[in-house]
Structure 1
């Protein structure tokens, strides 16, 4: 389970169940387990500080690489 955080202000955004060893390029909405501080404006998902962390693509969120950090473990 990964905890996704804003790269700008270090605020927790959400908990995500990552499957596989690769990079976090997309967050599937069905695997988001708990939302802490993530808001949607138009098609952009943003932190409360205004940092855009991803774009809504329907079933998943396309993540912006430099906009977030994460802690936790990935499931193989």
Structure 2
């Protein structure tokens, strides 16, 4: 499980089940386990501080890798 945080204000955004070793380029909506601070509007997802960190692509979010940080462990399958 990874915990994603806003790079601007350090608020927790959501808890995500990451499969594989690679970077977080996409967050599949069905793997998001808990949402703390995320607002969806106009096809994007925002932190309450106003920074956009993802774009809606139907079943997943395309993430802006400069807009968030993460910590935790990835599942290697």
TM-score class, shorter-chain normalisation, is over 0.9
Gap runs ≥5 in structure 1: none
Q: Does 1:7 align with 2:15?
A: no
- Measured in 2, the distance between the counterparts of 1:30 and 1:65 equals 20
Match of 2:64 in 1: 64
Question: What is the CA–CA distance in structure 1 between the aligned matches of 2:38 and 2:16, rounded to whole Å?
Answer: 13
The residue aligned with 1:75 is 75
SS in structure 2 of the partner of residue 65 of structure 1 = coil
Partner of 2:20: 20
How many correspondences in the alignment?
Answer: 76
TM-score (norm 1): 0.99
